[in-house]
Chains A and B, each alone.
Chain A
Amino acid sequence: MNAIRRLLVCAIFVAGSGTVVHAAAQEKYITVASTTSTEQSGLFGHLLPIFTGKTGIRVRVVALGTGQALDVGRRGDADVEFVHDKVAEEKFVADGYGVGRKEVMYNDFILIGPRSDPAKVAGGKDIVAAFKKIQAVQAPFVSRGDKSGTHAAELRLWKTAGIDPVAGRGTWYRETGSGMGPSLNTSSSMNAYILADRGTWLNFKNRGELTIVVQGDQRLFNQYGVMLVNPAKHPHVKKDLGQTFIDWIVSDEGQKAIAGYKIGGEQLFFPNAKR
């Protein structure tokens, strides 16, 4: 009987301490809403320790699809937005949810496809022409279909090609409704074409028969922007700490850190903050 009582007291103490310890570690931190593809590229693992080392501010990254990342900002659940969908970002600012948008860097998308290359697009430099060929032969194509920046870019390319891919939904055009990684997994198992960001691809281990087939087209460049969630709309936003992050990432030091991130010797992100 006594043993059980003692055990109960211990249990409650430990459970309580769980939350107390958290509260006690009330460090300086900001919440940054970003995208899954950015996190999965590994950039944050490289960049944030440098920032924290310099400023003592910890950065908590919530990685979601662009749509949800912006929604989180709209609700005031994050301090800073760091996404790559210029159109959506500018609307975000126009609607009053964000302030002080700055361009930070760009990375590029690449077209991934099976080595067997049924649409015969490998080695090409024209992404729109490649898309047309894929639709012409009805080669399997995987789309993220999740309102992400990558998805938005993909849809813009289809539009430029004058094709409505949704007509092929369920046959050659497959929407997974998921992130870059899971979608790549799906392509790998289906031997399908897929538009991906270079960062996720370089980190992706489960390639199967897939390889890069088209890259370098200007239209594949993917611009990143950073902005503060509007403190006028959400007074609790950590505007000073958040602004410190934004100022740092467009500064020489931040831009150099971005350029310094390499996978297998290859640079992923190209800093282009305006002076």
Chain B
Amino acid sequence: MMETTPLALKQAVDLVSGLDPQLVEIVTLSLRVSFSAVVIATLVGLPIGATIAVARFPGRQGVIVLLNALFGLPAVVLGLLVYLLLSRAGPLGELGILFTPPAMIIAQAILVTPIIAAFSRQAIEDAWREYEEQLNSLGANAFQAALTLLWDCKFSLLTTVLAGFGRAVAEVGTVMIVGGNIDGVTRVMTTAIALETSKGDLPLALGLGIVLMGLVLVLNATAHVVTEAAKRRYG
């Protein structure tokens, strides 16, 4: 194992720099799936987070605890649940989308939504604490206040969305189970790495690993730059 690693690494770098078509296809699918999932998760999670942040209702603390617990949901468990849901033998079997990209998008969207909801709740609640009296004084109703808070927190919300995307693109538990890792159809970076590694075939696995790590790095760097820019602009 030791002496083959440098060779595998070199081959991996060649695959990446040469834009090997199989590698590109897998990477593209990963990005498409996770990106779609994050868009859905944001559209669902942001309003939930904003509402919980601003509204007061009985059981609110319980909902917050549940939300925070949900984003520690193990991906495999979620994968299993969605699999049972989408299977022909399950309640949503009619859709016939098990083992297709839409199933993976749905599963990842469910995975990421609590992350976005929980973090946005925190950010918006902090902002609400600061702005509540002033916004009430100016006559904002709950809906207007929520929109104002969302827009005001946009940079911190952006980093939340980036974090959600990072989680989606790096997870393997849900997409493996609901996607089936079908060659050319539902094989994404993480499931491909798992497969190639289990075959003892390292160059492609390492190549994908390099791309995935690079992607995660870019996401974090972007989040950092955004946060710094916001701080400089708004103090």
A contact residues vs B (CB 8 Å cutoff) = 4, 11-12, 14-16, 18-19, 22, 31, 36, 39-40, 44-45, 60-64, 74-77, 178-179, 181-182, 184-185, 188-189, 200, 203-206, 208, 234, 236
Contact = CB atoms under 8 A, between A and B. Distances in A.
B199 A203 contact: yes
Nearest to A205: B200
Nearest to B83: A77
Which 10 pairs of residues, A with B, have the shortest CB-CB distance?
A181-B198, A76-B88, A206-B200, A75-B89, A62-B180, A15-B39, A15-B36, A205-B200, A18-B32, A18-B36
Contacts of A16: 36
Contact of B199 (A74, A204, A234): A204
B93 A60 contact: no
Contact of A22 (B39, B100, B180): B100
B200 A76 contact: no
B182 A40 contact: no
B167 interface: no
Contact of B40 (A15, A184, A204): A15
Q: For the side of the interface on B, what is the size category?
A: 20 to 34
Given A40-B195, A182-B198, A236-B96, 17 more contacts: A11-B39, A15-B35, A15-B39, A18-B32, A18-B36, A19-B36, A22-B102, A40-B199, A45-B183, A62-B181, A62-B182, A64-B180, A76-B87, A77-B87, A181-B200, A185-B198, A208-B1
B229 interface: no
Contacts of A189: 1
A200 to B, nearest CB: 8
B105 interface: yes
- A interface, by DSSP: helix, strand, loop or mixed? helix
Interface in B50-78: none
Given A15-B35, A76-B93, A205 B88 contact: no
B128 interface: no
B21 to A, nearest CB: 14
10 contacts: A14-B35, A22-B102, A40-B195, A44-B183, A75-B90, A76-B87, A76-B89, A76-B93, A178-B198, A205-B200
A31 to B, nearest CB: 6
A89 B36 CA distance: 39
Nearest to A11: B39
B96 A61 contact: no
Contacts of A185: 198, 200
Given A75-B88, A77-B88, A185-B198, A206 B1 contact: yes
Contact of A179 (B93, B183, B198): B198
A163 to B, nearest CB: 28
Contact of A205 (B4, B40, B87): B4
Interface string B81-94: 00000011110010
